[in-house]
Structure 1
Amino acid sequence: MSSRKVYLSLTLAVLFFVFSELVFRCALCLFGYPFLLPARYLEKKYYPFIEPMEQAVVERGGDTRNILIMGGSVVNTHWSRLELRLDTLFQKAYPNVRKFNFFNVAMPGHNSRDNMVKYNLLKKQHYDLVIYYEAINENRANNISSDLFYADYSHIKWYDEINLLLKHPEMNVTVMPYAVHYLFKSVKDKLARRNYISNEQVDPNYAVFGKDIKTAVPYYDNINAIASLANEKHDPLLLVKYASFFPKDVTLTGEPVDKKYFTPCYIVSPVTTWGKPENVVKGISVHNAMLERVHNAQKTYFFDMPAAMPKDSAMFCDVCHLSEPGAQRFAKALSNFVVSSKLIR
């Protein structure tokens, strides 16, 4: 083949590649993917609150300290206002610190996998303290038979979509591998009539499967990945054991009648949000044990919140969310540990 033909063939191949790339990018734009940086779809759709934190110019050293809070709804800004409470307590304990910058990425429903992904998105930022508090939301993933359970939680649609995005870090360079993978997977799932369990509620017909805590190893792996990255970044990591309240000698049903066993709150979550009560108790215990194992393996900081929170209905709105007195007690106990252990330098 002459050099001219080779050149022409290469030129046509490049033009075909560019044309195909443009077509795929335009197609993805119709579904909300950014044209120039399509990989940002992960943040845009699933973790939109992360983008400002990724791009923030974080003040370092001097009289400023930066604190990251990760977890679920219990420590979410709108549920417990944890960072506002800690800010008040820390200002009293650290008179030489002018400002505490809090970055709260805890969100309702998020489990260890969400938090691992979020922390990786923030890997370029450095924090003076990272606080992790979550061990109940994982339980939803257990409510499926073991043969249909996946360690990456892809039996839940939310994580199946996130996992596909994570498998294609090249998206900002070329979207074609992702687009082809997406199309192939969509057709395959449709032909197989694949069903997903909900990430928001538990199907009563599947709740019986929740007694097998299949999330133990995935939870450990996700927390361990967070701890490994924290060590790599030199971010002090505080793993907080999860506190819950299941009234003694009471069988919770998930029905409105359960509210009489807790403090009245504006928003509450019935225990069946995560599964059968006995399975939720077991799941929290297993996840807490995994959390402590990571602490021992990675030499993180660890605080036993159940030991600090009274087993009192006055502290809880439901089995895990905190009442106003509970939120105050939680923040005070956490602050006292941080200060006494000198976690903030």
Structure 2
Amino acid sequence: MISRRILLSVTAIGLLLLFTELAFRSALFFFGYPFWLPGNYLQKKYYTFIDQMAPPPDDKEARNILILGGSVVNTDWSRMEKRLDTLFQKAYPGIEKFNFFNVAMPGHNSLDNVIKYKLMDDHHFDLVIYYEAINENRANNISAELFHEDYSHIKWYDEVNLLRAHPEMNFTVTPYVVHRVVKGIKDKLSHRKYISNDVVDPELASYGSDIKTAKSYENNIGAIASFANERKEPLILVKYANFFPEGVKLTGEETDKKYFTPCFVVSPVTTWGKPENVQKGIRVHNEILEKAHHTYHTYFFDMSAVLPKDSTMFCDVCHLSEQGAQLFARKLSEYVVSNKLIK
């Protein structure tokens, strides 16, 4: 029979743990974490648009299409889903409706896209489109000694990775809080510094010639492809198109604009690093996309081969002009239709 002393000790420990849990949850709530489901902070702060994309009603006559990527195929930059919807409606008169879920976001790289895809596991998609190979380059602008394959040398990913390391958060936040506090102390003591996910420090740009992101990109694309195979969702890996004017040394200055079509918003090449390093990074990442296509038996479309390397197609080295966006959507639609990817 359990003695009264042991029973009191167990009760006291239980109450202490409960009080600690409530105190930690209250503290996190003050910083914006949901009180009851603090694990949802990942999409509440970092991927806010995911919560806005509720699963569509069970409609057998509709088709659900997911677009993963960065700013090039983002709604605000190219209205890609609207263009594809118009083309698919013409190509598939027997299909009543297409539900597009465009979660391609400016600045997002392959790791963000793995996370976004998995956060939407309560959806079923009839087609998944992946288009991104340039944003990864920002992570290369640091010495090999300070580079981390999980991109935690960038503050955004350091925070995201910490959240992902604690899937138990909706049950208990204590391990997460302890981990975060200990990590914060270590970072302070070591004077840890992070590189920006928005701009490249010119003093670090020379490090970008070493495409350290290759292994990370390969792992992330593999994770996306594996998840698609597991869910039996057809995935198209689209080879990234870019335009670096031949014989021109881009600088990232205003004078670069004369080599491209005037657009409302443009990104100077130095957003990702030195021009030659950015071009090299895209090439390496494109090679990995093609390799992943063979390894995981995905679909693969070479957009870089069908989109003319011409100033009329591009606003900058990667973003599309109106003419470029039209051609992009049309060629991708033709590939989907010719390969009968939508049933």
TM range (shorter): over 0.9
Q: Which letter maps to 1:299?
A: H
Letter in 2 for 1:84: K
SS in 1 for 2:48: coil
Sort the Cα spacing of 1:325 and 1:22 in 2 relative to 1 into closer, same or farther, 3 A: same
Equivalent positions of 1:215-226 (< 5 A) are 215-226=213-224
Segments ≥4 residues shifted beyond 4 Å: none
Q: Could you report, residue by residue, the CA deviation over 1:190-239 in whole angstroms, capped at 9, with x for unpaired residues?
A: 11110000000100000000000000010010010000000001111000
Q: How far off its partner does 1:2 sit?
A: 5.5
Shift of 1:62: 2.7
Q: For residue 312 of structure 2, give the secondary structure of its aligned residue in structure 1.
A: helix
Question: Partner of 1:256 in structure 2?
Answer: 254
1:307 Cα deviation after fit: 0.8
Letter in 2 for 1:190: K
User: Alignment partner for residue 158 of structure 2, among 160, 183, 204?
Assistant: 160
Percent identical among aligned pairs is 67
Are the counterparts in 1 of residues 55 and 122 from structure 2 also a CA contact under 8 Å? no
The aligned amino acid for 2:23 is V
Tell me which amino acid in the other structure corresponds to 1:8: L
How far residue 96 of structure 1 moved from its aligned partner, in angstroms, is: 0.3
Which ranges in structure 2 are unaligned for 5 or more consecutive residues?
none
Select between 242-251 and 57-66 the one with higher mean Cα deviation: 57-66
1:96-175 to 2 correspondences below 5 Å:
96-175=94-173
1:266-305 per-position Cα deviation (integer Å, ceiling 9, x unaligned): 0000000000000001000000001111110000000000
Candidates 311, 329, 332, aligned match of 1:331: 329
2:52: which partner in 1? 52
| SS at structure 1 position matched to 2:15 | helix
The separation in 2 between residues aligned to 1:4 and 1:120, in whole angstroms, is: 48
Give 1:60 shift.
4.6
TM-score (norm: length of structure 1)? 0.98
Task: Indicate the SS of the match to 2:101.
Answer: strand
Q: Contact 2:238/2:300 (CA < 8 Å) preserved in 1? A: yes
CA–CA distance in 2 between the matches of 1:60 and 1:210? 47
- Do the aligned partners of 2:131 and 2:238 also contact (CA within 8 Å) in 1? yes
The residue number in structure 2 matching 1:296 is: 294
Deviation at 1:125, TM superposition (A): 1.4
Rounded Cα–Cα distance in structure 1 between residues aligned with 2:124 and 2:215: 28
Residue type of the alignment partner of 2:199: Q
Task: Return the alpha-carbon distance in structure 2 between the equivalents of residues 204 and 243 of structure 1.
Answer: 25
CA distance in 2, matches of 1:309, 1:108: 21
How far is 1:136 from its partner? 0.1
Partner of 1:342: 340
Q: CA deviation at 1:123?
A: 1.7
User: What RMSD over aligned residues (CA atoms) do the two structures have, in Å?
Assistant: 0.9
**Could you report, residue by residue, the CA deviation over 1:103-162 in whole angstroms, capped at 9, with x for unpaired residues?**
000000000000001111112211000000000000000000000000000000000000
Equivalent residue, structure 1, for 2:35: 35
What residue identity is the alignment partner of 2:17?
F
1:20 and 2:54 are equivalent in the alignment: no
CA contact (8 A) 1:59 1:66 kept: no
Please name the residue that 1:206 is paired with: 204
| Aligned-residue offset at 1:58 | 2.4
| Contact 1:64/1:98, CA 8 A, preserved across alignment | yes
Which whole-Å CA distance do the structure 1 matches of 2:102 and 2:58 have between them? 18
Aligned equivalent of 2:275, options 270, 273, 277 = 277
Give the drift of 1:248. Answer: 0.5
Alignment of 1:234-249 (within 5 A): 234-249=232-247
1:182 counterpart (176, 180, 183):
180
> Quick check: 1:74–1:321 contact (8 Å CA) kept in 2?
yes
Q: Secondary structure at the match of 1:314?
A: coil
Q: By how many angstroms is 1:7 displaced?
A: 1.1
**Whole-angstrom CA distance in 2 between matches of 1:150 and 1:57:** 35
Instruction: Find the aligned partners of 1:163 and 1:100 in 2 and give their Cα distance.
Output: 33
Query: Secondary structure of 2:105's partner?
Result: coil
Tell me how far apart the structure 2 counterparts of residues 60 and 224 of structure 1 sit (CA, whole Å): 29
Of 207-216 and 121-130, the range deviating more from structure 2: 121-130
Matched residue of 1:250: which SS? coil
Unaligned stretches of 5+ in structure 1?
none
Partners of 1:328 and 1:60 lie apart in 2 by 31
